[in-house]
Amino acid sequence: MRLANKTAIVTGGASGIGAAICAMFADEGATVLVADLDEMRGEAVADSARRRGGRARFHRLDVSDDLSWKALLSAVAAEGGAAHIVVNNAGVAFPNGDVEQQSLADWRQVMRVNADGAFLGVKYGIAAIRAGGALGGSIINISSILGLVGSATTCAYTASKGAVRLLTKSAALHCAKSGYRIRVNSIHPGFIETPMVEDMLRRRADASAMRASIMAATPLGHLGAPEDIAYAALYLASDESRFVTGAGFVVDGGYTAQ
């Protein structure tokens, strides 16, 4: 019960990495708010946690919308007060394109969810945690290995995840210097078996060859599981990481070590 007596907000909690984090956090004793636009899947994630004896509920959230975040914080306050953990996981990978092909509209669509969503998640995450007084808490931003290295064909996605990485460091310093006792860290997943990666592969005529190429380029020789990211998030959410802030945790099977 590493998260006993803590309340966690997890955006993009209805599927993939977000769903794995919600499940693990609930199993470790947290009260989990599954925040997502997908009500059917989000409710299913919360219901699954409850059937295992955990505490979880669904809240509809558009991470790129200021008013949607304010409504979520009002709901948190009405249901018990403050959050202790905020995981900014929601994100999109498409539309893709290189810097010449990418349209401004597509660039803005990716940035709106990935960068604006992370900014609002940190901004209102700080407010939600501070509502609990001096207890402090943890904000975890899910970036990507493409927030660390470049990619020729994912211009907007790479830029957005790079923004998440440095937003994390800026917010970590701000919280530390302000005496908030709020730690802010990022996780950088490699290729993980999620609906986002599966969608990426389905869009390619050479899907099987592309999957084999990804596995061959990963030193450990296979794609990661959503739980691999959830375990890193669990550490950062727990009091075990009390001296960790502004850090970036890479979970990629060795991909960026090359």
Q: Are 26 and 45 in contact (CB under 8 A)?
A: no
pLDDT interval class at 75 (50, 70, 90): very high
Q: Which among 118, 48, 65 is positioned nearest to 90, based on CA atoms?
A: 118
Please check the confidence at residue 85 and state whether its pLDDT lies above 90. yes
pLDDT (0 to 100) of residue 132: 80
Q: Are 73 and 51 in contact (CB under 8 A)?
A: no
Instruction: Dump pLDDT digits (tens) for 151-183.
Output: 998 999 999 999 999 999 999 999 999 999 999
Residue tagged active-site, from 124, 157, 231, 255: 157
Q: What is the C-alpha radius of gyration for the chain, rounded to an integer number of angstroms? A: 17
Higher per-residue confidence, 167 vs 198: 167
Which one is the CATH code of 7-251: 3.40.50.20, 3.40.50.720, 1.10.240.10, 3.90.1720.10? 3.40.50.720
Number of Cβ atoms within 10 Å of the Cβ of 150: 10
- The residue ranges of every structural domain in the chain are 7-251
pLDDT interval class at 134 (50, 70, 90): low
Structure tokens at 72: 């979520």
pLDDT interval class at 231 (50, 70, 90): very high
| Range name among 5-19, 37-51, 102-116, 196-210 with the lowest pLDDT average | 196-210
Instruction: Dump pLDDT digits (tens) for 199-217.
Output: 777 777 777 888 888 889 8
Q: Is 231 a catalytic residue?
A: no
pLDDT (0 to 100) of residue 200: 73
pLDDT (0 to 100) of residue 202: 74
Q: Which among 34, 52, 30 is positioned nearest to 43, based on CA atoms?
A: 34
Q: Are 88 and 117 in contact (CB under 8 A)?
A: yes
Distance CA 106, CA 164 (A): 18
